[in-house]
Chains A and B, each alone.
Chain A
């Protein structure tokens, strides 16, 4: 089954405790991206990757890091989480173009 898998799906953590949200896709997609979704603000792009070892900032990259060492994986790293990073995070991938995205199920993160 074609899918984008995110882990963890739910996480409550405390300010400053480093965490990683993993994302893996099994569709051999070259393009992957991370978004956060907040009420009233919609989906905002954090980082994206056109291919292995190629990453670039989206609209809200502050406080986040990513890496793309393998085609299938695109982890999102929060080195020192803060409460304003409490959000719903989506990983997405695409093969046909930037806009035709296939989304993971989402990871709801709460930073206390």
Chain B
């Protein structure tokens, strides 16, 4: 079982719609969770971090965490063509390791 799994995508949404990205993790003691965005040919950049159960909103992005279900998600509201990218879920495990999912590629159709 992979440590971090994401819905494989690709995910195509129309402009203005909500894009929903899902991520599950295997290590129950994980405490810190992150979403990175990676444009094609570029390096990943941090867009959200979440540490407590519930929702965390930052502009058009909302991260949701459910530790009991070992599930973290990212919602992108009012999707724009500039949101077209691969989104990486990352989970901090014990021993200062950060494990990444394989990523979900999102395409926003104008």
User: Which residue of chain B is the closest to A58 with respect to CB atoms?
Assistant: B97
| Residues A20-42 near B (CB distance < 8 A) | 31, 33, 35, 40-42
**B97 pairs with A97, CB closer than 8 A:** no
A43 smallest CB distance to B (angstroms): 4
A3 smallest CB distance to B (angstroms): 11
Question: What count of chain B residues pass the 8 Å CB interface test?
Answer: 23
A87 at the interface (CB under 8 A from B): no
B43 at the interface (CB under 8 A from A): yes
A82 at the interface (CB under 8 A from B): no
User: Which residues of chain A are near B95, meaning CB under 8 Å?
Assistant: 56
A98 to B88 alpha-carbon distance, docked (Å) = 15
A58 to B102 alpha-carbon distance, docked (Å) = 17
B49 at the interface (CB under 8 A from A): yes
Task: Tell me whether chain B's interface is mostly helix, strand or loop, or mixed.
Answer: strand
| Residues A26-74 near B (CB distance < 8 A) | 31, 33, 35, 40-45, 48, 50, 56, 58-59
Contact among A99, A102, A106 for B90, CB-based, below 8 A: A99
A56 to B33 alpha-carbon distance, docked (Å) = 21
A56 to B95 alpha-carbon distance, docked (Å) = 9
User: Which residue of chain B is the closest to A48 with respect to CB atoms?
Assistant: B96
A81 at the interface (CB under 8 A from B): no
| Residues B29-79 near A (CB distance < 8 A) | 32-34, 36, 42-46, 49
User: Which residues of chain B are near A103, meaning CB under 8 Å?
Assistant: 43-45
A43 to B36 alpha-carbon distance, docked (Å) = 11
7 pairs, CB–CB < 8 Å, chain A vs chain B: A33-B98, A42-B4, A43-B100, A50-B96, A56-B96, A98-B92, A99-B90
Q: Which residues of A contact B (CB under 8 A)?
A: 31, 33, 35, 40-45, 48, 50, 56, 58-59, 90, 97-106
Q: Which residues of B contact A (CB under 8 A)?
A: 4, 32-34, 36, 42-46, 49, 88, 90, 92, 95-103
* Cβ-closest 5 pairs across A and B: A42-B102, A103-B43, A43-B100, A99-B34, A99-B92
